[in-house]
Structure 1
Amino acid sequence: MNEILVLYYSRHGAVADMARHIARGIEEVAGMAARLRTVPAVSPECAAVAPEIPAEGAPYAELCDLEECVGLALGSPTHFGNMAAPLKYFLDRTSPLWLSGSLIGKPAAVFTSTASLHGGQESTLLTMMLPLLHHGMVLLGLPYSETELLHTRSGGTPYGPSHHAGADGGLPLSEEEKHLCQALGRRLALTARAQLEAGNIPALRR
């Protein structure tokens, strides 16, 4: 099985829920599987550090997860219109993969969640794409053939799935948001499979 890495940071659980729906979409495609990974919170120098293994949920990501997978779905809550610091901290440590070209040609997509409907969803998705472009990845969004984009009153953008979590972070994913997450997973898996079949992922390491 070829694996797509679903890498995310989730503070209140909404982004983790989105990740699971993206993984479900990935695994609807024959020959493809999802690898769920998260990142630990960051803290100031001399503060207590998190355990090496999280108490629950997905394991923490390592650089080898990016090398071994044939595609990437990257998810974060919105922090002032940008990705959260823990995810940025992890990406900042991927220079060895940039030097080796390990991610060139692999498809990638992004997803996010915000407390308010206009809390910077699109700016967060767009800025999350920048380091992936530097790595030479092939970016995917959601086409308007996914008709939920035309009538959703919750999350959902052509740049990637999004979720409106509410001021207390307690709103569950709407049916439209779930569908768009799963659609992105399928599109990512289909593209990765086609890239593999065409020999367009030269740096693939499994």
Structure 2
Amino acid sequence: MAKVLVLYYSSYGHIELMAEAIAEGVRNSGAEADIKRVPETVPVDVARDGGFKLDQQAPIATVGDLENYDGIVLGTGTRFGRVSSQMAAFLDQAGGLWARGALNGKVGGAFTASASQHGGQETTLFSLITNLLHFGMTIVGLPYSFQGQLGVDEVKGGSPYGATTIADGDGSRLPSKVELDGARHQGELIGMTAQKLFG
């Protein structure tokens, strides 16, 4: 049975919810899924004062964990159209895995969130996907087999490059049913691909 790691960073809980939906989709495919998060780099008092969600249940990952999985799905909120510094700092430590080719041929995917509809979701997804491609991984996005990302009847995330959600400027909007369904769909496709390659 293929094993997939859903690895995320979430300041306020939006990406945490999306990670749970991705993992649910992976499990629906018959593959195993673990959810882990990257270490917080912001001092605890600053995070507390900033309203960060500090009670997340997912264990902290180590870089060495990555090679133990057949698939890795990265998720982080958008920071000015790019990857959060916490996720970037974690991935920057994976040079040894890259040098050994330890992740070559594994399955990868990405998901994100932003405050606004045009807040840099796709550039963040591409930044995550670029890391995965440098690691030699095969990318699975969120194709239009997920029809929920089409239409303008409501505000919704979603991109062929990966599942997304829109949090609003004050973080008050949680992922919608459509956005969580998109994350599940992407997770299921990633799990199915990992199963075909490694199951």
Query: Structure 1 residue 178 and structure 2 residue 177: aligned?
Result: no
Q: TM-score by structure 1 length?
A: 0.87
Q: Unmatched 5+ residue regions in structure 2?
A: 48-53
SS of 2:189 mapped into structure 1: helix
Give the letter aligned to residue 174 of structure 2.
Answer: P
Q: Quote the residue 1:162 is aligned against.
A: 164
Q: Which moved more, 1:15-24 or 1:60-69?
A: 60-69
CA distance in 1, matches of 2:156, 2:42: 32
Q: Quote the residue 2:35 is aligned against.
A: 36
* CA-CA distance at 1:29 after TM superposition: 1.6
Q: How does 1:1-206 map to 2 (within 5 A)?
A: 1-30=1-30, 32-43=31-42, 56-151=56-151, 153-196=155-198
* CA-CA distance at 1:114 after TM superposition: 0.7
Q: TM-score by structure 2 length?
A: 0.90
Q: Quote the RMSD (CA, aligned, Å).
A: 2.0
Give the letter aligned to residue 79 of structure 1.
Answer: R
Question: How many residues are treated as equivalent by the alignment?
Answer: 191
Give the letter aligned to residue 175 of structure 1.
Answer: K
Percent identity (aligned): 39
CA deviations 1:164-190 (Å, max 9, x no partner) are 111111212111101100001100000
* CA-CA distance at 1:55 after TM superposition: 5.3
CA deviations 1:6-36 (Å, max 9, x no partner) are 0000000000000000000011122x11111
| 1:3–1:120 distance in 2 versus 1, CA, 3 Å | same
* CA-CA distance at 1:56 after TM superposition: 3.7
* CA-CA distance at 1:49 after TM superposition: 11
SS of 1:168 mapped into structure 2: coil
| 1:176–1:43 distance in 2 versus 1, CA, 3 Å | closer
- Once superposed, which parts of structure 1, at least 4 consecutive aligned residues long, lie more than 2 Å away? 47-50
SS of 1:173 mapped into structure 2: coil
Q: Quote the residue 1:203 is aligned against.
A: none
SS of 1:151 mapped into structure 2: coil
Q: Judge conservation of contact 2:29–2:189 (CA < 8 Å) in 1.
A: no
Q: Unmatched 5+ residue regions in structure 1?
A: 198-206
Give the letter aligned to residue 115 of structure 1.
Answer: A
CA deviations 1:61-83 (Å, max 9, x no partner) are 11232111110110000001001
| 1:163–1:48 distance in 2 versus 1, CA, 3 Å | closer
SS of 1:162 mapped into structure 2: strand
* CA-CA distance at 1:154 after TM superposition: 1.2
